[in-house]
Structure formats: C-alpha cells, structure tokens
Amino acid sequence: MPERGPEEVVNEFIARVVAKQLDQACELVTDDCEYDNVPMGKNFGPEGIKAFLQPMVDGVDEVQFVIHRQAASGSVVMNERTDRFRVGDNWLDLPVAGVFEVGEDGRIRLWRDYFDLTTMNDQLALLGS
C-alpha cells in the first residue's frame, strides 16, 4: 500500500472528525500532537484532542468542514474552510484557517486553527434563542 502524503493524511483526518469518529481520527495524530485552537487554547495528544472535540460533536446533529482552498508544501498543509455545525434545522457557520504539520511517520504533529471567537459566540447565542 503506498504511503499517504501530508495532504491525504489531513483530508482523511478531517473526514473522520466530521464523521464523529474521533478515536479513528486520533489514530492519525502523534502522541504529543499540539492542537492549538488559537482563540480557545491548546490541547495535546490524542486524549487531549478527543476531550476537547467530544462534547462539541456530541452536542450537534451534524458536522461539516467545507474546504474552500487548500495548499500543501512539504509537510505543511494549510486550508481555508467553513466549519459547519447543525443543531436541529439551524447551522452555525464558522470561517476557519487551518494549519497542519505531518511528521515523517505520516501522522499529524501540529493542528492549528484560527477563527474569530466573537463570530462563534454570536452564532451560538442565535442557536440558543
């Protein structure tokens, strides 16, 4: 089986996250992976990532990461996307810029997402009304 390149690893990771398969997604990260959810803080390793993401995916009916642009250079993959979360008939749409670094072992060692926290909180408030 051919080795996956960094972009394929990131695409598979995202597919597993949106499918709410966090255990399977975290098979693609290193034991010391840094997940820097920039306005909210850092989490480390598969357990830290799952502890952060699990309540989020459990609290919504559907997750989508709509990738608008993606570029890879060496071990780094960057994407511009809209992370979408459906609760009932309503969607929260969050513009995100993501940076991933994939190690030589083919696993993600850095995941950093940049987004505006106020935009997220404003939409969460609308979902709650």
97 neighbors 114 (Cβ within 8 angstroms)? yes
The question of whether 83 is a catalytic residue gets the answer yes
- 56-108: per-residue pLDDT in tens? 999 999 999 999 999 999 999 999 999 999 999 999 999 999 999 999 999 99
Structural domains of the chain ordered from first start: 6-128 (3.10.450.50)
Q: Which amino acid is at 87?
A: V
Catalytic residue, from 32, 58, 61, 83: name it: 83
Please list the residues that pair with 49 across neighbouring strands: none
Instruction: Count the Cβ atoms, other than its own, within 10 Å of residue 21.
Output: 13
Catalytic residue among 31, 36, 89, 113: 113
- Residue 19 pLDDT level (bands cut at 50, 70, 90): very high
Decide if 32 is catalytic: no
Q: How does residue 126 score in pLDDT terms, banded at 50, 70 and 90? A: confident
